[in-house]
Structure 1
Amino acid sequence: MMKAILTKLFVPLISAVSCLIAAPASYADIVISGTRVVYPASAKNVTVKLENRGIKPLLVQTWIDDGRENANPQELNVPFLVTPPVSRVDPGKGQSIKVTYLGGQLPQDKESLFWFNVLEIPPKTTDGADKNILQLAFRTRIKVFYRPEGLKGAAGDAVKTLQWSVNQSGKALSIDVKNPSPYHVSFSRAQLVSGKNKYSLDTHTVPPGGKESFKVTGLSAVPAGAKIECDVINDFGGSIKSEFTI
């Protein structure tokens, strides 16, 4: 799932990464061509396309992190090279970013997850050049899946292998999800359905061979015959609809 963050910038570009606030009512001008990047191990590199849909030229910084979203990009040690790391994108124009795997000790029996970051910086104002100016910039993060060759099964079928169970602790209710596949499973929506009643699940990405616990909203016990309905995001950003009986 794509994640957008509004960043306060106090001049240095890199320092912006550590100053983050949520911005649900604001929108970025730089649009990424997809909602995720899949990097096959056999690929020499992959390309991520950006487009400036705003009315002003923007300075764009791109990098990959290992899940530590607040870490300074210069302090990260990831096995990928992103070029160009900084570029200017004029309004209505695009920019192609090349991601190259540099090699390293990544697991070869399952996918590895990283994050592709885009930080857009608006042009400086011409008013008060000697004053401290507060700038607002957007940062967008999307998942990067490094996919080794020869993994068992297909990524689109991973949802079919999920194992669901009820976890009841007093009045606290959650649904445990185990993923025995070598692929990450990312949800866009999941709910527990009992008759005409539907209860939202607080979902997370379930890693390969991992297990996650989804909290159930508005329910203290699972009725007999209840089922799970969910949408899982595929490699192209579309949804795979699935249904499971609890």
Structure 2
Amino acid sequence: MRLNLCFLLALLPLWHSAAANAAVTVGATRLIYDGASSEANLTVSNREDTSPYLVQSWVSRFGTGNDESVDSFIVTPPLFRLDANKENILRVIFTGGADVPQDRESLFLMNVKAIPAMSDDQKGKNVLQIALKTTIKLFYRPAGVKGSLKDAVAQVGWTSTAGALQFNNASKLHVVVSELTLNGLPITQAPDVLRPGEQRELPIQAKAGDDVSLSYIDDYGSIVTAPLIRIH
């Protein structure tokens, strides 16, 4: 019992820091960058009553496991102090780059790290403070790419190839999967994102006459269920 109590006491600084960082929030669950615009904006708020934070922001690549900043975007201000009960607007600016195609949508990650300030009574003491990072998807949608996400989902084809389920995203947009079912049963091997132009075979058996149901996340972060598709 004494060992358990000591373990819980040791975790208290972690819980305190995590709860404190939760006070810094971003104003969206995803960021859509319209290529026809000069920038995309994201609000960052500090809901804490007393504590200021140091906020650092940058854009990284999606799906690489590497959160290093990319050269194709700059975020301003990249580093700033956010006082209690205040908010600030991050400006994300596309700077170009040959690795960002203009004929289809690209997916990146928007990173916002909040670092808690040390209070006067904590100075000179051994205090554990943790900076927590919020990451949301950043979709760069070139000006020449037309059509809605609903239209894009309608362009995703589902077929049975050699007894396996296969999809083909013929659209120019990313489709973020919330749930994928076959004959009402969830497909646990479903990908998180169907990329533009991606064609892939999933390790699940399917045949003509089976029903595929796709629920996806729209531009506003809501879950939408697409019309049922019957495999031919």
Give the TM-score, by structure 1 length: 0.73
Name 2:96's counterpart in structure 1: 103
Q: Which residue of the other structure, out of 192, 214, 219, is the alignment partner of 1:235?
A: 219
Name 1:50's counterpart in structure 2: 44
Q: Residues 126 and 213 from structure 1, CA distance in 2 versus in 1: closer, same or farther, beyond 3 angstroms?
A: farther
Whether the 8 Å contact between 1:230 and 1:241 is mirrored in structure 2 is: yes
The SS at the match of 1:156 is helix
Name 2:148's counterpart in structure 1: 154
The 2-side partners of 1:153 and 1:128 are apart by 54
Q: Which residue of the other structure, out of 179, 184, 188, is the alignment partner of 1:189?
A: 179
Deviations 1:88-109 (A, max 9, x none): 2233321100111112222111
Q: Please state how far the C-alpha of 1:117 moved relative to its aligned partner.
A: 0.3
Deviations 1:147-188 (A, max 9, x none): 11222533331111111234678xxxx743221111111112
The 2-side partners of 1:230 and 1:54 are apart by 39
- Please list every run of 5 or more consecutive structure 2 residues that lacks an aligned counterpart in the other structure: 1-17
Q: Which residue of the other structure, out of 128, 138, 141, is the alignment partner of 1:144?
A: 138
Q: Which residue of the other structure, out of 152, 161, 167, is the alignment partner of 1:177?
A: 167
- Across the aligned residues of Structure 1 and Structure 2, the Cα RMSD in angstroms comes to 2.8
Name 2:210's counterpart in structure 1: 226
- Please list every run of 5 or more consecutive structure 1 residues that lacks an aligned counterpart in the other structure: 1-24
The 1-side partners of 2:129 and 2:76 are apart by 25
Whether the 8 Å contact between 2:103 and 2:172 is mirrored in structure 1 is: yes
Does 1:135 find its partner at 2:138? Answer: no
Q: Which residue of the other structure, out of 223, 226, 229, is the alignment partner of 1:244?
A: 229
Deviations 1:171-227 (A, max 9, x none): xxx743221111111112222234xxx3343331111101345566xxxx4477432
Letter in 2 for 1:96: I
Name 2:3's counterpart in structure 1: none
Give the TM-score, by structure 2 length: 0.76
Whether the 8 Å contact between 1:111 and 1:146 is mirrored in structure 2 is: yes
The 2-side partners of 1:65 and 1:241 are apart by 29
The 1-side partners of 2:76 and 2:92 are apart by 7
Name 1:114's counterpart in structure 2: 108
Name 1:199's counterpart in structure 2: 186
Larger Rg belongs to:
2
The 2-side partners of 1:54 and 1:175 are apart by 49
Q: Which residue of the other structure, out of 56, 59, 63, is the alignment partner of 1:64?
A: 59
Letter in 2 for 1:59: L
Does 1:37 find its partner at 2:31? Answer: yes
Letter in 2 for 1:104: G
Letter in 1 for 2:48: G
